């Protein structure tokens, strides 16, 4: 490692301030057990005079990009790094065989992100959806624009028309570096295989709501069925946790969903046409007619629900954090747990931002390597990760 890219080393974390395209080639091959990241969405900017088509075959956007800025005018969202297969080829090189990649994308541009990841040699396994209730529409009022340009009569005809929908979800690409043999052979030889189902099961809290602050042992203990229902047990229910789905909610989206569904009891098992009895999916046997799964609550109880604290981004007010796209700490903690092997591993984030992936990695018992280009974001990430690292060390010393 050259002095120019000498990293800052913390307990369990190594942080690089620089361009990930220049730092990644300096890292040793096949050392990371997962990559969890939130790349630039590379949202195009358009002129107020319209969206002129771009006939330049070298530009993949299909329309003109005005300047080097993207989301909210930020320079870090400009360019097309996350759309380049060459970038993800370098990420592929330093991941272990069978290692998983989780990459957030924008709803307008994630198709290009997915193609780049696949073209680099990854196998696309799924696309998760993170549903949130706090999105704010950034829409042009066409009627008002016409009122200024063409007068009241033209504006009246287009009253109520806008240019954008309210954002309410983000895709998360789940991809895998090709296996070295089978899943079992890969697990044995490289210590990496698949996704951690049992550690990511959806626990059942009071009234069917999930408690995102419970320990992993309490939330995800034991084995449940492969459907959304908890395993029946004494007195109608010993909920071991639901199989994790590819839909994730934030707390606000969960509450909105529950208002729509109302309080609902557990579902009956689907009918088994051959025997006339009830069949419990994933268990390989029939249940007596009329058995009802024991839990009640809203529809959000079928999915993981992240809880974002207002103090997450600032570590209880100890760090200034002006990054505009901070993900909830509990969400990143859940995603890190989903894709890391038993006993923990080494997680990479080549777009570290303000450090939420690093925090999630440490809280799930993993080590972390992060790379961030912007000096202000890097310093924010360093402070946040250092605080969490120190807190974990102090807790371990107390319990020792």
351-360 residue pLDDT tens: 999 999 999 9
CA distance 360 to 346: 12
Note the pLDDT tens digit of each residue in 215-265.
333 332 333 333 444 444 433 333 457 889 999 999 889 998 999 888 877
- Paired sense of beta strands 304-306 and 247-250, if any: parallel
Backbone angles phi, psi at 113, to 5 degrees: -60, -45
Cα-to-chain-centroid distance, residue 256 = 20
Q: Whole-angstrom Cα distance, residue 220 to residue 109?
A: 34
Span of 97-106, 229-238, 255-264, 322-331 with lowest mean pLDDT? 229-238
Q: What are phi and psi of 15, to 5 degrees?
A: -120, 130
Average pLDDT over residues 141-157: 81
- Can you list the alpha helix ranges (DSSP code H) found in the chain? 20-23, 85-94, 110-119, 142-149, 152-157, 183-190, 216-220, 251-261, 329-338, 356-363, 375-399
β partners of residue 296: 265
Q: Where are the domains of the chain?
A: 3-42+80-133+168-195+328-399, 198-306
Beta bridge pairs of residue 368:
13, 347
Q: For residue 202, what is the DSSP state?
A: B
What is the crossing angle of helices 375-399 and 356-363, to 10°? 10
For residues 11 and 361, give the distance between their C-alpha atoms in angstroms, rounded to a whole number.
12
The pair of three-digit structure tokens given for residue 170, joined into one six-digit string: 């983000």
Higher-pLDDT residue of 210 and 195 is: 195
Strand partners, 326: none
Q: Which two tokens stand for residue 307?
A: 């809880």
Residue 76 pLDDT greater than 70, yes or no: no
| Poorest-pLDDT segment among 58-67, 207-216, 261-270 | 207-216
What's the chain's average pLDDT?
A: 78
Average pLDDT of 96-111?
96
Which CATH architecture describes the domain 3-42+80-133+168-195+328-399?
A: 3-Layer(aba) Sandwich (3.40)
The predicted model scores a pTM of 0.80
Distance (Å, whole) CA 288 – CA 49: 67
Average pLDDT over residues 142-162: 82
- Is the pLDDT at 212 greater than 60? The verdict is no
Looking at residue 333, its pLDDT comes to: 95
Find, among 111, 41, 139, the residue nearest to 81 by Cα. Answer: 41
Lowest mean pLDDT among 185-194, 256-265, 281-290: 281-290
């Amino acid at each position: 490692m050259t002095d120019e890219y000498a990293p800052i080393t913390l307990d369990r974390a190594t942080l690089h301030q620089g361009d990930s395209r220049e730092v990644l080639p300096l890292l040793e091959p096949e050392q990371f057990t997962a990559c969890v990241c939130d790349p630039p969405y590379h949202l195009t900017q358009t002129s107020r005079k319209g969206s002129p088509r771009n006939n330049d075959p070298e530009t993949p956007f299909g329309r003109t990009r005005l300047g080097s800025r993207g989301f909210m005018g930020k320079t870090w969202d400009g360019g097309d790094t996350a759309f380049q297969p060459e970038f993800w080829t370098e990420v592929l090189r330093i991941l272990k065989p069978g290692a998983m990649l989780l990459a957030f994308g924008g709803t307008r541009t994630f198709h290009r992100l997915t193609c780049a990841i696949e073209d680099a040699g990854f196998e696309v396994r799924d696309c998760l959806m993170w549903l949130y209730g706090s999105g704010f529409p950034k829409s042009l009022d066409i009627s008002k624009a016409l009122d200024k340009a063409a007068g009241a009569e033209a504006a009246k005809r287009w009253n109520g028309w806008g240019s954008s929908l309210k954002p309410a979800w983000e895709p998360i690409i789940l991809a895998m570096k090709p296996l070295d043999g089978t899943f079992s052979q890969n697990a044995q030889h490289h210590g990496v295989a698949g996704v951690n189902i049992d550690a990511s099961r959806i626990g059942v809290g009071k009234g069917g709501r999930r408690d995102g602050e419970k320990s992993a042992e309490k939330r995800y203990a034991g084995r449940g069925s492969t459907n959304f229902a908890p395993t029946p047990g004494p007195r109608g229910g010993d909920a071991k946790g639901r199989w994790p789905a590819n839909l994730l909610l934030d707390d606000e989206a969960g509450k909105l969903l529950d208002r729509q569904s109302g309080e609902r009891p557990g579902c009956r098992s689907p009918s088994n046409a051959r025997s006339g009895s009830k069949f419990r999916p994933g268990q390989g046997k029939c249940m007596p007619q009329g058995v009802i799964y024991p839990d009640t609550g809203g529809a959000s109880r079928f999915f993981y629900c992240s809880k974002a604290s207002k103090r997450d981004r600032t570590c209880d007010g100890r760090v200034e954090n002006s990054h505009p796209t901070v993900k909830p700490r509990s969400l990143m903690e859940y995603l890190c747990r989903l894709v890391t092997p038993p006993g923990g591993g080494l997680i990479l984030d080549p777009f570290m931002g303000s450090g939420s992936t690093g925090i999630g990695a440490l809280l799930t018992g993993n080590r972390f390597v992060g790379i961030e280009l912007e000096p202000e974001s890097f310093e924010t990430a360093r402070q946040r990760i250092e605080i969490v690292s120190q807190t974990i060390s102090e807790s371990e010393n107390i319990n020792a």
